[in-house]
């Protein structure tokens, strides 16, 4: 009974399915929106045509349409259809149904994966939500008009039909995009309660596209920010990764601070915005990431998160050494502590955690420039990532610039030149590892075999 009451309180203003079906969308021709079919990916065209030839409706939807109108090359393509996941699965040999909360189909076509979703129905009192209003399951199918009303922002409720090159717009999304305004579809409070991640998404969209968040959409963000604590860590991690690799990470982080989403909710954001010692280092890392994304270069999530969390590790490492712990053991304990703290809010994957630890663990080794240590470090698979990390530390003033320059020159030098570059140790000579002299009669071998 209590849960039913809460659903009634937090559901959006009741609009019947019949009323939604009667909504007439704007049909915008190619002459106005400018998206010709050759501008969308071949895989998304094939998925739409296969579904349409089978008698279903199918459209490229959401972010890809929005980005193309805004003059941005989409990273991926989604398709919306009235076919159920099972019907989609039957049409495509290389496909699979994924998800529980939202069942969708991934259709693989060459290097592309197209996400195909079935039109969602309007919510009702029977929609499965938690006590805060967050939707827990959403696998009731509906019409295209209902699906458009269920989407988060007007600029994402756009459907492109490759067969006739028209855009179907139910909520004035094209107009909002041209007017540089981000509006929520429906009541913002209810929509944020349904999915608190939409607050982070609003910030990302505004920063990426240069939009102003509509006052009605902006006002509830601060008072509802605590709802992010109720979101599964894996979803928060995915959204944070999208935000930080959007090509506008600096603008996104600044906007998060303005909206009050940076304190107490995501430890990562606390780290970025509240550490004087590492502030320059963090902003350099974010600017470097933005530059790489805009240049079309790959970005390593492991490297990115390693930079954002480094000064937390550094502070813990120094504190442990001050208590008398051995340096290497103290570093590994500090690394584990910081990643464990982040795991409470962000489900950083094992692979990314492993990459982060490797980059951190290499940093003390850059201090060793005598003997065979530099040669062995160059052979490490993660050397380049470790060096790039060192270079950021040098640019921020954390370590001498000369150290990063030495490693750059050492890596480019020929074997003979490298030997002359080795830095003497404190005694004035480059240490050479001594080989243990064997005792007469086999020594170690005999001892190992039990012989005397």
Catalytic positions: 76, 78, 152
The confidence score (pLDDT) of residue 47 equals: 97
Instruction: Render pLDDT for 92-136 as a digit per residue (tens, 0 to 9).
Output: 999 999 987 688 999 999 889 999 999 998 765 555 555 445 544
How is the beta sheet containing 58-61 ordered, strand by strand?
26-28, 166-169, 158-161, 58-61, 78-81, 112-118, 104-109, 95-98
The confidence score (pLDDT) of residue 152 equals: 92
Architecture of the domain whose range is 306-421: Orthogonal Bundle (1.10)
Domain locations along the chain: 2-195, 306-421
pLDDT band at 237 (very low <50, low <70, confident <90, very high): confident
Mean pLDDT of 166-185: 96
Kindly report the average pLDDT of the chain as a whole number: 84
The confidence score (pLDDT) of residue 429 equals: 43
Among 61, 68, 248, 236, which residue's Cα sits nearest to residue 156? 61
pLDDT exceeds cutoff 70 at 283: yes
The confidence score (pLDDT) of residue 446 equals: 44
CA 225 to chain centre: 19
The confidence score (pLDDT) of residue 262 equals: 62
Least confident interval from 368-372, 390-394, 435-439:
435-439
Mean pLDDT of 41-57: 97
CATH topology of domain 2-195: Beta Polymerase; domain 2 (3.30.460)
User: Sign of dihedral through CA atoms 167, 169, 173, 179?
Assistant: positive
pLDDT band at 423 (very low <50, low <70, confident <90, very high): confident
CA–CA separation, 204 and 347 (whole Å): 20
Mean pLDDT of 303-328: 92
pTM of the model: 0.74
CA angle (166 as vertex; 116, 181 as ends), nearest 5? 80
Instruction: Render pLDDT for 3-18 as a digit per residue (tens, 0 to 9).
Output: 444 344 434 444 444 4
CA 8 to chain centre: 34
- What are the structure tokens assigned to 263, written together? 């304190």
The confidence score (pLDDT) of residue 425 equals: 62
pLDDT exceeds cutoff 80 at 260: no
Contacts for 270 with CB less than 8 Å, ≥ 6 apart? 262, 263, 264
Most confident segment among 111-125, 284-298, 434-448: 284-298
Better-scored residue on pLDDT, 450 or 152 = 152
Better-scored residue on pLDDT, 377 or 3 = 377
Most confident segment among 47-51, 127-131, 225-229: 47-51
Among 327, 301, 278, which residue's Cα sits nearest to residue 385? 301
pLDDT band at 267 (very low <50, low <70, confident <90, very high): low
pLDDT exceeds cutoff 90 at 387: yes
pLDDT exceeds cutoff 50 at 439: yes
Most confident segment among 20-29, 155-164, 297-306: 155-164
Residue with tokens 């989407």: 151
The confidence score (pLDDT) of residue 12 equals: 41
The confidence score (pLDDT) of residue 269 equals: 63
The confidence score (pLDDT) of residue 273 equals: 61
pLDDT exceeds cutoff 60 at 224: yes
Residues β-bridged to residue 135: 129
């Amino acid at each position: 009974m209590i849960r039913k009451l809460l659903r009634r309180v937090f559901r959006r203003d009741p609009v019947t399915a019949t009323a939604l079906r009667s909504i007439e969308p704007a049909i915008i021709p190619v002459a106005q929106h400018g998206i010709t079919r050759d501008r969308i990916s071949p895989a998304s065209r094939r998925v739409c045509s296969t579904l349409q030839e089978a008698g279903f409706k199918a459209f490229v939807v959401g972010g890809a349409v929005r980005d193309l109108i805004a003059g941005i090359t989409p990273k991926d393509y989604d398709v919306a259809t009235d076919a159920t996941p099972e019907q989609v699965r039957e049409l495509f040999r290389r496909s699979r149904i994924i998800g529980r909360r939202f069942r969708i189909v991934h259709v693989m076509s060459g290097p592309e994966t197209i996400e195909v979703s079935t039109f969602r129905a309007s919510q009702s009192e029977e929609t499965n939500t938690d006590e805060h209003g967050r939707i827990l399951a959403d696998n009731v199918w509906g019409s295209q008009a209902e699906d458009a009303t269920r989407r988060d922002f007007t600029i994402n409720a756009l459907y492109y039909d490759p067969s006739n090159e028209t855009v179907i717009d139910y909520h004035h999304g094209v107009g909002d995009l041209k007017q540089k305004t981000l509006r929520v579809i429906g009541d913002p409070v209810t929509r944020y309660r349904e999915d608190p991640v939409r607050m982070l998404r609003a910030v990302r969209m505004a920063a990426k596209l240069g939009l102003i968040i509509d006052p009605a959409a902006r006002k509830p963000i601060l008072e509802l920010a605590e709802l992010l604590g109720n979101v599964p860590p894996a979803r928060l991690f995915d959204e944070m990764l999208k935000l930080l690799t959007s090509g506008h990470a600096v603008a996104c982080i600044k906007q998060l601070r303005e909206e009050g989403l940076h304190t107490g909710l995501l430890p990562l954001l606390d780290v970025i915005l509240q550490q004087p010692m590492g502030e320059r280092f963090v902003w350099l890392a974010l600017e470097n990431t933005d530059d790489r994304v805009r240049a079309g270069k790959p970005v390593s999530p492991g490297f990115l998160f390693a930079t954002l969390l480094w000064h937390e590790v550094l502070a813990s490492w120094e504190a442990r050494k001050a208590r008398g712990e051995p340096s290497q053991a103290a570093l590994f304990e500090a690394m584990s502590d910081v990643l464990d703290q982040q795991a409470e809010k962000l489900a950083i994957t094992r692979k990314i955690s492993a990459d982060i630890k490797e980059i951190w663990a290499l940093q003390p080794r850059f201090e060793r420039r005598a003997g065979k240590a530099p040669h062995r470090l160059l052979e490490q698979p993660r050397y380049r990532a470790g060096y790039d990390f060192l270079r950021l530390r040098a640019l921020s003033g954390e370590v001498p610039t000369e150290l990063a320059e030495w490693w750059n020159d050492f890596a480019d030098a020929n074997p003979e030149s490298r030997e002359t570059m080795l830095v003497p140790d404190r005694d004035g000579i480059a240490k050479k590892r001594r080989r243990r002299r064997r005792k007469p009669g086999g020594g170690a071998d005999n001892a190992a075999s039990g012989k005397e």
